[in-house]
Amino acid sequence: MLPLRLHEAPAPRLVIAANAEWFQIRGRAPVVLETRVPLRRLLLALGELRLHSPSAVLPVTAAFEAGWPGERASPTAAAMRVYTAVHSLRRLGLRGLLVRRRRGYVLDIDVELAAPQSQFPRALEPADEREDMAHSA
């Protein structure tokens, strides 16, 4: 007789590509960030922070450094870039999940980073590649 499993681990609610070219919230279509490099960098920083230090927040200064490494800006200009990037990520599907805390930003959701070899989620692969894979299997 197999042991009963009372608590199955729920599937991650947010999957972020290893290089943040896309993200997907369970039950929703994937969102591609391929050409939006600062958003990718910021999302990756938030995702890694959530994985490694779940109770930590990403301060605005660290968010700017993550999204625009090596760039210089006045504190006000840097904050405006971060606020705009956060607004964009929320508009793309992270509303209610990318939240402001007293000292910075956090992802208020379970996070998984996809393996580096999975560049795009299966739903975004070109149809002919999916067919080739199906025929070769």
User: What would the mean pLDDT of 115-137 be, rounded to a whole number?
Assistant: 49
Return the minimum-mean-pLDDT range out of 23-27, 114-118, 130-134: 130-134
Return the minimum-mean-pLDDT range out of 48-52, 55-59, 60-64, 130-134: 130-134
Judge contact between 104 and 57, C-beta under 8 A. yes
Within-domain flag for 126: no
Within-domain flag for 81: yes
Within-domain flag for 34: yes
What does the pLDDT read at residue 129? 43
Residue 101 belongs to what domain range?
A: 14-116
Burial 93-118 (b: 16+ CB within 10 A, else e): bbeebbeeeeebbbbebbbebbeeee
Domain count for the chain:
1
What does the pLDDT read at residue 7? 59
Per residue in 6-54, pLDDT (tens digit) is 556 555 589 999 889 999 998 899 999 999 999 999 999 999 999 999 9
Within-domain flag for 122: no
Cα separation of the two ends of the chain: 34
CATH of the domain at 50: 1.10.10.10
What does the pLDDT read at residue 137? 45
User: What would the mean pLDDT of 49-68 be, rounded to a whole number?
Assistant: 95
Per residue in 91-111, pLDDT (tens digit) is 999 999 999 998 899 999 889
Within-domain flag for 48: yes
